[in-house]
């Protein structure tokens, strides 16, 4: 028996090479736009988080000034303004004097009672112009903290065994950090009464965070 071949009535379609290249190009453009939008969204999120934390630190600094009549001190000779006493001044310390050797008097962190700095260590780390930690009480009482830490991401113990306030955004790749930490953490810059700063009668507070590509953004109390 002979079999009959029945031809289908449908039309067979195929893309030409040019059409395929056009489609691939369009997909590439769309993907690039999606990636760019995601990157921009991430940057905006870091900016908002950093600005929110800066506002929290500003409130704490103003409360400190209202209590002590001055700002948390910094030394004019310090070149890396990430190395500052904000953690200790805003969270509070106990003071344990050493009458025989004043340089061995101790400022013990209330936030971390296992951590302390001698007067000599304070001056050696933060500059001789910083005589000690202003926000201190005797061990029988606790000063009210000007700042409360919600997460451990707000502070870090770094090279040299000191605590610093941490920025809620990663350290930009172009920002060198040898004198503070080698683990990529980012920290707040602070200087009180800066003669050559933006707020010579007040204080400069700022953070450097990633921007687009290799650019950086500055979140500060002089850029609103």
List per-residue pLDDT tens for the chain, 224 residues long: 555 544 555 555 566 777 666 667 666 655 555 454 445 678 899 999 999 999 999 999 999 999 999 999 999 988 889 999 999 999 999 999 999 999 999 999 999 999 999 999 999 999 999 999 999 998 887 777 999 999 999 999 987 899 999 999 988 877 665 556 656 789 999 999 999 999 999 999 999 999 987 789 999 999 87
CA 190, CA 165: separation in Å to the nearest integer? Answer: 10
User: How far apart, in whole angstroms, are the C-alpha atoms of residue 72 and residue 45?
Assistant: 29
**The pLDDT of residue 151:** 92
Q: Please enumerate in sequence order all residues whose Cβ is within 8 A of that of 45, keeping only pairs 6 or more positions apart, or say none.
A: none
How many CB atoms are closer than 10 A to CB 39?
Answer: 14
Within 8 A by CB and 6+ apart from 43, the residues are 210, 211, 212, 217
Look up residue 87 and give its two tokens.
């953690």
The answer to whether 107 and 93 have CB atoms below 8 angstroms apart is yes
């Amino acid at each position: 028996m002979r079999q009959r071949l029945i031809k289908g009535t449908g039309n067979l379609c195929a893309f030409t090479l040019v059409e395929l290249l056009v489609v691939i190009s369009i997909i590439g453009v769309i993907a690039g736009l999606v990636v760019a939008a995601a990157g921009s969204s991430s940057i905006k999120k870091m900016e908002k988080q950093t600005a929110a934390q800066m506002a929290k630190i500003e409130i704490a600094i103003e409360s400190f000034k209202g209590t002590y009549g001055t700002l948390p001190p910094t030394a004019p000779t310090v070149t890396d303004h990430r190395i500052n006493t904000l953690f200790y001044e805003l969270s509070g310390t106990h003071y344990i004097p050493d009458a025989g050797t004043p340089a061995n008097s101790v400022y013990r962190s209330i936030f971390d009672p296992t951590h302390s700095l001698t007067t000599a260590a304070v001056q050696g780390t933060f500059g001789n112009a910083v005589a000690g930690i202003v926000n201190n009480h005797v061990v029988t009482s606790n000063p009210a903290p000007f700042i409360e830490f919600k997460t451990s991401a707000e502070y870090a113990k770094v090279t040299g065994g000191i605590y610093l306030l941490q920025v809620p955004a990663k350290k930009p790749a172009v920002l060198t950090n040898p004198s503070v930490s080698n683990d990529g953490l980012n920290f707040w810059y602070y200087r009180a009464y800066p003669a050559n700063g933006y707020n010579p009668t007040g204080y400069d507070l700022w953070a450097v965070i990633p921007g687009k590509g290799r650019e950086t953004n500055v979140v500060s109390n002089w850029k609103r």
